[in-house]
Structure 1
C-alpha cells in the first residue's frame, strides 16, 4: 500500500500548568476544558514520514485511547525521574495508546492489514519496531476498538488493581469511585460479576450515570454531585468498607477514608480530581489510615504485565457467559484528526461513559 511522505501530528506546544490552558491569554468566558486546545497547549504540524527499516512496520492509526493519565505526562512541573509515565518535551508529539492497521511492513511478524495496538502518538501514521506492537484483541461482533476498551489497558488496570493490590474476595464490600469511567466501570463488573463481591458501591456524577453503573452490577451507586452525597455515602457503606478502588482522590477519597474498616485496603489508581487543579487535593481524614491500620498502595498497570494474559482470558470468558457486558461501556467519538485534542478534553468534563475512544478511521 502507498503511504504518504508527510503526515499530520499533534505536538505539545506549551506544557500546561494548573489548567490545560493559560487563563490570562483567553477570554474570560472561555470554558477551559471544552475548547480546542490549540495553539496554547497543542499545535498541529505536518512532518515527514520516514520509510520503514528492516524489522519495522508502518501503521495507519484508526483509534486513539483517551486516558486521564495523559494529563499527568505533560504537566509543566513533572519531575522526569518521578514521572507517572512518559515525560515528553515541548515539541514532541503527544503520546497515546493507539489502535491501527499495518499498511506497510518490513517484518516477518506482521503483514499488511493486521490490526495492532501500540504506544505511539497523536499522529496519522507511525513507524514502529515490530516488537513494539501487539495484535489487537478482538471479540466477534464488536467494533475493533474493543481492543482499547473492554479488552484494553483500562480493563487490565481494573483487573490487576482489584486482584494484585486490593486482594478482593467474595465476602468483601468494595467502593469504586469514577465508576462510570473506563477503569471504574470495568472494576464494577469484575468485582460483582466475576469475583462475586458481597456488596459493590459505585460513585459517579449524575443520576443517569449512577443508574448505568447499577446496570453494570453495582448494588448501589452514589451521586457525588448530589447535595446529600456525604449522607448517601454513609448510608451506602453501613458496616464499612473492605476495599476502596480510588480513581479520583481529593474530597471523595477523604470522605471514604472515614468509612474504611480496620485493616482494609485502598487501591490508589488515579487522582483525576487533581489533574487540572491542586485545590481538590487537600485532605482532612488522613489519620484514619493510622487509626484503622489501612493499607494504601499505588500502582501502574505495567507493574503487573505478567498478569495481563490471565486477565484477558477471565474477561473474555465472562463476556461469553454474559457476566461482563461490552454494551454501553465505550463512548466512541468519530472525529476529524483536527479535533483529536477536543475529544480528549471531554475526559475532564464528564463527557464520557465508560471508555472514551476517538475514531479517526474514516
Structure 2
C-alpha cells in the first residue's frame, strides 16, 4: 500500500464571484487527509473534470433553494468530478488500486463513502481519462438530452449549439451516427472549430462569430428544425427559436453565454414558443440516472464500431495542482475542443 500523507492541498471557495471569477475566488490550502472509516475509501485523484456548470454552483446570485447542483459555501473545497485510484479501502465493495470516478472536490486526496464512487468506464487501448470524456457525464448528458428530452427521431433535423464543446461534440456524433438524424447542424466559434465539428458528422457547422451568422442559420434550415440542443442560450437561442418547426422541442442544457460577464439575455423571439407550439424543457443529467447504463453501452459500442470518434474530443492538460483553477478557466475563453480534462502531474 502506498504511503498516505497527513495533509494534502485543496482549492477552497474563498469568495463567491459576481460577474467574473477573480484571483480572490479561490484559495489554496493544506487540509488533513482523513483516514477512511468502515464503508469508506481513500482515493488519490489523478484527473479532474472541468465543466461549465461549476461556474453556476459558485455564483453569488444563486440561492440555495433554487440551485440546480451543489451549493458550496465560502470555505468549502471547490466541487468537481474526478477520476482516481483507491489508495486505502475500508469497504468490501472496493479493492485498493481500483480505478473509480465520482464527485467530490478540488483536493489531492479524498475520503468518501463506498457508494459515492463507481467503476470508471474504460475501453482497452484508450486512456484512463476516457471515463471523463467520451464515456463521461457530458456524453451521458448529450445522449439523455437527445433521447429523453428532445425525443429525436431518425430523419429529423437537429441543431446543436456549443458543438465544439464536451456535450455538444458528443451530441453531434450521437445524433448523426447512433440516432440517425437526417440533418445535423452544429454551431461553434471560428472556422477551425466548425471544420472539426463537420469532421465528427455534422452536415454543416455555422460560425456564430461570423457577421453573416443570422443569415447562415436561415439558409441552413430551409425546412426548419425539429430539435434544438441548447448549450449556450442568449442571442443564439433567440435566433434559433425563429427557425423551429411546429411542435418542435428545445433541449435546455446550458447557458454558457451568460456564465461570465454580462448575464442579461435579450430575447425577441419568445412568442415563437406559442405560435409554433414549441416544447422547451430544462434538465440535468442526474434526472435520467437510470438511463446511464444503456447510454454508456450505446456509445461504447459506437466507439468500438468506429462510429463515434474519440480522437480530438478531449483536451487533456497536464498541470500541477497549483494550476487547477487556471486550467478550469479555459472553459470560458474557448480554449478547449471537446472535453477539458486536467491531468495532475505525478
- Aligned 8 A contact 1:251 1:280 in 2: no
Determine the C-alpha separation between the residues in 1 that align with 2:257 and 2:220. Answer: 22
- Aligned 8 A contact 2:320 2:345 in 1: no
Q: Deviation above 4 Å: which 4+ runs of structure 1?
A: none
* 2:198 is the counterpart of 1:222: no
2:309 match: secondary structure: coil
Q: How far apart are 1:127 and its partner, in Å?
A: 0.4
Q: How far apart are 1:361 and its partner, in Å?
A: 4.6
* 2:187 is the counterpart of 1:203: yes
1:75 match: secondary structure: coil
Query: Gaps (5+ residues) in structure 1?
Result: 22-37
1:218-264 Cα offsets, whole Å, 9 max, x none, are 00000001111111111111111000000000000000000001110
Superposition CA RMSD, Å: 0.8
Counterpart residue number, 1:43: 27
Determine the C-alpha separation between the residues in 2 that align with 1:108 and 1:353. Answer: 39
- Aligned 8 A contact 1:273 1:280 in 2: no
Counterpart residue number, 1:95: 79
* 2:141 is the counterpart of 1:140: no
Determine the C-alpha separation between the residues in 2 that align with 1:224 and 1:135. Answer: 38
Determine the C-alpha separation between the residues in 2 that align with 1:107 and 1:280. Answer: 48
* 2:220 is the counterpart of 1:239: no
- Aligned 8 A contact 1:273 1:281 in 2: no
Q: 2:61 aligns with which of 74, 77, 94?
A: 77
Q: How far apart are 1:298 and its partner, in Å?
A: 0.2
Query: Gaps (5+ residues) in structure 2?
Result: none
- Aligned 8 A contact 2:242 2:272 in 1: yes
1:305 match: secondary structure: helix
Determine the C-alpha separation between the residues in 1 that align with 2:288 and 2:5. Answer: 38
1:298-355 Cα offsets, whole Å, 9 max, x none, are 0010000000000011001111111101111000000000000000000000000000
Q: How far apart are 1:195 and its partner, in Å?
A: 0.9
Counterpart residue number, 2:9: 8
Determine the C-alpha separation between the residues in 2 that align with 1:50 and 1:189. Answer: 42
- Aligned 8 A contact 1:261 1:292 in 2: yes
Q: How far apart are 1:279 and its partner, in Å?
A: 4.2
User: Superposition pairs for residues 54-69 of structure 1, below 5 Å?
Assistant: 54-69=38-53
Counterpart residue number, 1:328: 312
Q: 1:174 aligns with which of 152, 158, 178?
A: 158
Q: How far apart are 1:65 and its partner, in Å?
A: 0.2
1:165-189 Cα offsets, whole Å, 9 max, x none, are 0000112100000000000000000
Structure 1 177/280 Cα, relative in aligned 2: closer, same or farther at 3 Å? farther
- Aligned 8 A contact 1:264 1:295 in 2: yes
- Aligned 8 A contact 1:211 1:221 in 2: yes
1:317 match: secondary structure: helix
Counterpart residue number, 1:191: 175
1:170 match: secondary structure: coil
Determine the C-alpha separation between the residues in 1 that align with 2:264 and 2:144. Answer: 27
Between the two proteins, the alignment pairs up a number of residues equal to 345
Q: 1:285 aligns with which of 269, 273, 278?
A: 269
Q: How far apart are 1:278 and its partner, in Å?
A: 3.8
